[in-house]
A and B are shown apart, each in its own frame.
Chain A
């Protein structure tokens, strides 16, 4: 358990470092191709951060609104509140507010930028279909997302993906419109230039895909990390494993979920993606359920 947690942390840190290195390489080509100099990077960082900041501060409200979640009191759902409060004590964070989605498909997610303002949202189906230990496993998973500041990390990754998208977009535009300026600036540099320009073009086209793949890889690592921390909180990995099995066996799709919010849930609520294939795995927000259960059973 302890090794899994530290390995997961290390892996997501490595992914972030790799992402940064990727941005630096891209910047170098960007300077070369467009001739904008460092100003381009500064502008891209500023725009991407501005967009992400808006998402960062409004995200929880937007997500809860889209999912048609309603806040509930302890009198309505004493069982849910007791489990949430217990695990908040175990994690050493303030008890988050509880929201409920009236849907029979079992699922759950956590939102909020920091533990003090965090929210845990579950469907009524989850409360009906899971027993207490399974529910504790699921809530502990969400509590780990809160405790590990995963929303903050995801925002950071989204900012970086945004920077990459902007840089490559501007690069492509400069290939189309700004070609003359580049040629006149570097007229004497010989044959090596052609290769570099080609590499730049390839990077401009490919890097948004690469950025998305890294972003999704970070998301999957955080799911594994939250699973391992959940086991750490409940000291009973079998509870979450059994809950994951039940949730994934449930064929009902969650009506309030869509592509934009799917990555938040404990199990992908859009049931159309079947695991297995390499490409599917590369572009999915969640690791395959079987792998998560296997990791839990190894603890």
Chain B
């Protein structure tokens, strides 16, 4: 009788533990999704700002059409990106293109004094750091989620219910860390 009760207690404890592990995996998976949609929101916001910016700069620097084309193309590629990896690549291209746009703007003092341009510049800088923070939050969450799936004993539960590791949102080394080429 005593042994039976003990067995029941142990079994009950195991079930409670398994439920806890399953729930924490589900929580982390949802947090990953939420983190990804945060990145998405900020990226959209960035794409929406770009046409305004291009128009404003065009008003002062009409003959810099090469830069405008580059920015517009990069934006289109970024908007149409599907996978996590594509998003990362397109976004890096866009960052490079925007850098050359701002470098061009440096040559037009009137543009630099334009209130609208200054506001767009601040918005874009703010949005870019938000993208970076959203990416940091997403990657941290993915790390926790993937780790929970790999360590014992929650790895058993993860296998049983078919949890899949998530992909990190990576920045391409060459673009992110290398020097930016500026063409005038």
A-to-B contact residues, CB < 8 Å: 78-79, 81-83, 85-87, 89-92, 136, 233, 235
Contacts and interface: CB of A to CB of B under 8 A. Distances in A.
A146 to B, nearest CB: 15
B123 A89 contact: no
Q: Is the interface of A mostly helix, strand, loop or mixed?
A: helix
A87 B137 CA distance: 10
Contact of B133 (A78, A79, A86): A86
B126 interface: yes
Given A78-B119, A89-B38, A89-B42, A83 B126 contact: yes
23 contacts: A78-B122, A78-B123, A78-B126, A79-B122, A82-B123, A82-B125, A82-B127, A82-B130, A83-B126, A85-B126, A85-B130, A86-B126, A86-B129, A86-B132, A87-B133, A89-B133, A90-B136, A91-B137, A92-B31, A92-B35, A92-B141, A136-B129, A233-B133
B134 interface: yes
A233 B119 CA distance: 26
Contacts of A82: 122-123, 125-127, 129-130
Nearest to B39: A89
Contacts of A91: 137
B122 A89 contact: no
Q: Is the interface of B mostly helix, strand, loop or mixed?
A: helix
The 5 closest A-B pairs by CB, nearest first: A82-B126, A90-B133, A86-B130, A89-B133, A86-B129
A292 to B, nearest CB: 23
Contact of A235 (B35, B119, B136): B136
Contacts of B130: 82, 85-86, 89
Contact of A89 (B31, B119, B125, B134): B134
B126 A89 contact: no
Interface string B110-131: 0000000001001101110110
Contacts of A79: 122, 126
Nearest to B133: A90
A136 B137 CA distance: 16
B138 to A, nearest CB: 10
Contacts of A235: 136
Contacts of B141: 92
A92 B137 contact: yes
Contacts of B122: 78-79, 82
B53 to A, nearest CB: 15
Nearest to B126: A82
Interface in B144-162: none
Contacts of B136: 90, 235
Contacts of A233: 133
